[in-house]
Amino acid sequence: MTSATTMAWPAPAVNESPGLPRLLPPGALDLDGHVQAYGALCYSGAPRELIEEIRVAGLTGRGGAGFPAAVKMTAVADRRGRPVVVGNGAEGEPASHKDRHLLWLAPHLVLDGLQLAAEAVGARRAYLYVHGHDWLLRGLGHALAERSAARWDRIAVEIVAAPPRFLAGEESALASRVGGGLALPTFKRPPVFERGVGGAPTLVQNVETLAHMALIARFGAAWFRQVGTAAEPGSMLVTAHRADGDSLVSEVPIGAPLAAVLDLGRQPVQAVLAGGYHGAWIPAAQAAALPLANAALRQAGASLGAGVLAALPADRCGLAETAGVLRYLAAESAGQCGPCLNGLPRIAAAFSALSRPGAGRRYLADLERWSGLVAGRGACHHPDGTVRLVRSALAVFSDELEWHLAGRCTAEPPAGDLGSAGEPGLAAVPFLPLPAGDSGSLMPAPPRHGWR
């Protein structure tokens, strides 16, 4: 797995739609380059004006939940009290690189969006919440200094470092951390938009969502809708892990053929993971015919999530890969809620047992019971997302599961090559990226671009 993502310019064939990519310049843009590429930042001049344009544009959140951005902004603007705006760039998902990629290449687009969102909801405090990796903090600090020197921003932006944990970007964990507490999910009553950072109404938007806002403010809703589908307009950033081991961040129109984004057909693929580690597996044949849009993915039991896609090569064991991810997810439980604390490690252990040939069928009954016991019983959606992955893996890899129960793994390496774990079916290096013990490895090296 390549750790640093690669970006082509002009972008690959999937980007044949006019004007794409919109968000990803070929190299990191400083403020001058940013103004040349996109034009100057234009404030609307009045609160709420941009919200209407965003509503017409049909922009949805790009952090995973896909909630309509204008609805969220209106809810915050309607509250009494001075709101706070937070750009969420915490990308705890090990398989996702798109947010850090965007923050490196086009920091000013994100920061423009943050200012505009603050103006739209009437906020006087703004934060950018990102993983505290040196190269990223340096780059963003540099960008903020440029804006300060040019008197570009109306309100100051404070950068807050997120710990390198899977759940650090969860909305209530973010509100807690930005407010000076721990980056742990809270019991969201009242919700974050009502009482978030320091008790203020808080607008949390993913950094890619903010970048889209910065462009909608410049070019308008009709321009935004020139790509994408009528129901799901615009473009989106994806992190695509192709079967040949290549990972890349690219910007695609929503509705683009999934097969093109993942370059399916080049080598045998058995299944596609859509939506990341809280997402779902789809059989390869079914995935190859799907457009990259929630309307289609939901019918296949999946969703776009934060744009993470992975094509599992045919010679990998989907059960072993899923087991590795489940062990990671169990370890990433905040450990605050009894059902998640108790259930996730048991689910991961039972799934790991089934991922090895010759496991007993009783583990299946345990898995089903525990999955039912944890779903919907956490303060956040971590148990729900984990169970979604479990259920889709058991369904999509059901044939392989029968082989395992019968004592064989079809992905077993040739005799004598047992992999580092010394167990058949477990490849030396998992296909799906996971941090290697040390949580610092969640953050790879910066994209291969320098400051200009």
**CA-CA-CA-CA torsion sign (286, 290, 292, 297):** negative
DSSP letter string, 34-79: HHHHH------SSTTHHHHHHHHHT-B-SSSS--BHHHHHHHHHHS
- Which residue number, 107 or 185, has a Cβ lying nearer to other proteins? 185
Q: Is 319 in the site for other proteins (CB under 8 A)?
A: no
Q: Is 440 in the site for other proteins (CB under 8 A)?
A: no
Peptide bond just before 21 cis, omega within 30 deg:
yes
Residue 237 bridge partners (DSSP): 251
Q: Among 38, 22, 32, which residue's Cα sits nearest to residue 147?
A: 32
Q: Is 426 in the site for other proteins (CB under 8 A)?
A: no
Helix (H) or strand (E) holding 354: helix 338-354
**CA-CA-CA-CA torsion sign (102, 108, 109, 114):** positive
Is the separation of the CB atoms in 24 and 191 below 8 Å? no
The piece of 14-22, 44-52, 333-341, 443-451 that touches other proteins (CB under 8 A) is 333-341
Q: Which of 154, 187, 289, 295 binds other proteins (CB under 8 A)?
A: 187
Q: Is 21 in the site for other proteins (CB under 8 A)?
A: no
Q: Which of 378, 425, 444, 447 binds other proteins (CB under 8 A)?
A: 378
**Least distance in angstroms from the C-beta of 373 to other proteins:** 5
Residues 6+ apart with CB under 8 A from 300: 274, 280, 282, 286, 287, 290
- Which residue number, 140 or 340, has a Cβ lying nearer to other proteins? 340
**Least distance in angstroms from the C-beta of 372 to other proteins:** 10
d(CA 91, CA 336): 21
**Least distance in angstroms from the C-beta of 329 to other proteins:** 17
DSSP letter string, 183-218: S-----SS-TTTS-GGGS-EEEEEHHHHHHHHHHHH
**Least distance in angstroms from the C-beta of 378 to other proteins:** 6
**Least distance in angstroms from the C-beta of 368 to other proteins:** 14
**Least distance in angstroms from the C-beta of 184 to other proteins:** 9
**Least distance in angstroms from the C-beta of 399 to other proteins:** 31
The piece of 58-66, 118-126, 356-364, 372-380 that touches other proteins (CB under 8 A) is 372-380
d(CA 262, CA 251): 12
**Least distance in angstroms from the C-beta of 189 to other proteins:** 8
Q: Is 136 in the site for other proteins (CB under 8 A)?
A: no
Q: Is 313 in the site for other proteins (CB under 8 A)?
A: no
Is the separation of the CB atoms in 292 and 250 below 8 Å? no
Is the separation of the CB atoms in 262 and 309 below 8 Å? yes
Q: Is 318 in the site for other proteins (CB under 8 A)?
A: no
Q: Which of 20, 57, 102, 379 binds other proteins (CB under 8 A)?
A: 379
Q: Is 339 in the site for other proteins (CB under 8 A)?
A: yes
220: which 2 tokens?
Answer: 């308008």
- Which residue number, 377 or 449, has a Cβ lying nearer to other proteins? 377
User: Binding residues for other proteins, how many (CB under 8 A)?
Assistant: 15
Site of interaction with other proteins (CB under 8 A): 185-187, 189, 336-340, 342-343, 373, 377-379
